[in-house]
Structure formats: structure tokens, C-alpha cells
């Protein structure tokens, strides 16, 4: 089983409801472009542009039947926010400079014998 989003790893059994719904609907969903992989792609596209009505329908329909994919758009948003925060922190860290006196003090303390 592909782990394109929040699906359990291969060693974890899938819930019965998930297996039944995907056994019944799996192939038609794939033909209609509503598979888990398609959902992940649409969730990613949604971050960059407005989805069409058809794309929104495909996401809603898949989200209604697949409990593992429902939280993926929010997880993508959280990752985007973390990446933005990391960029800001990197810029702030580059601006901070340690004085030579502080560096020397730290080196002295590191060389000092413990107790």
C-alpha cells in the first residue's frame, strides 16, 4: 500500500471500513482521479492556486470516504508555516554576531578543568 499521505505503514492493518470502501470504490475512484495520490496532489495545488469546482468536488468526495487523507491539507499548511518560520530564524541568526570578548570567555570556560 502506498504511503502518499497519512496511511498507516505496511505493518499496521488498515481499518475494516477503509478496506471495504476501497475494495468497492477503489478502481472507480482511480478512474475518476479521486485516489489518495490525487488527493495529495490537489491538496498541494490548493496551496498555490484556487482549485476549480471539479477539483474541489474530488477533494471533498475523497475526504468524505478516506479518514487518512482528511488532515493532509492542514498538515501541508503547517509545513509551509514551519518553513517560513525557519527562514525568518535563519535571517535573524545571521544578523546576530557574538563579540570577541564573549568568544574568548566561552573558550576559557571550556578549557578550564572541571572541579
What is d(CA 67, CA 39) in angstroms, rounded to the nearest whole number?
12
Whether pLDDT at 100 is above 80: yes
pLDDT at residue number 113: 72
Closest-CA residue to 6 (of 43, 33, 32): 43
Cell of 14: 488498515
Measured between its terminal Cα atoms, the distance across the chain in Å is 58
List of residues 6+ apart from 19 with CB closer than 8 A: none
More confident residue, 88 or 6: 88
> 33-47, 58-72, 80-94, 101-115: which has the minimum mean pLDDT?
80-94
* Torsion angle, alpha carbons of 50, 56, 62, 68, to 10: 30
What is d(CA 33, CA 97) in angstroms, rounded to the nearest whole number?
52
Whether pLDDT at 95 is above 70: no
Give the DSSP H/E element, type plus range, for residue 12. none
Whether pLDDT at 79 is above 50: yes
pTM (2 d.p.): 0.55
Whether pLDDT at 1 is above 50: no
Residue carrying the nine cell digits 498541494: 44
Cell of 69: 487523507
What is d(CA 51, CA 43) in angstroms, rounded to the nearest whole number?
9
Note the pLDDT tens digit of each residue in 11-43: 677 677 767 776 777 677 777 767 888 899 999
More confident residue, 26 or 67: 67
Amino acid at each position: 500500500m502506498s504511503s502518499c499521505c497519512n496511511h498507516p505503514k505496511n505493518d499496521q492493518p488498515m481499518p475494516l471500513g477503509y478496506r471495504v470502501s476501497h475494495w468497492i470504490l477503489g478502481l472507480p475512484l482511480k478512474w475518476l482521479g479521486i485516489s489518495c495520490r490525487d488527493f495529495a496532489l490537489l491538496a498541494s495545488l490548493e496551496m498555490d492556486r484556487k482549485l476549480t469546482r471539479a477539483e474541489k468536488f474530488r477533494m471533498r468526495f475523497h475526504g468524505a470516504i478516506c479518514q487518512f487523507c482528511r488532515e493532509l491539507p492542514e498538515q501541508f499548511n503547517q509545513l509551509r508555516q514551519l518553513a517560513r518560520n525557519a527562514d525568518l530564524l535563519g535571517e535573524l541568526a545571521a544578523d546576530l554576531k557574538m563579540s570577541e570578548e564573549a568568544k574568548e570567555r566561552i573558550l576559557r570556560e571550556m578549557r578550564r578543568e572541571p572541579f
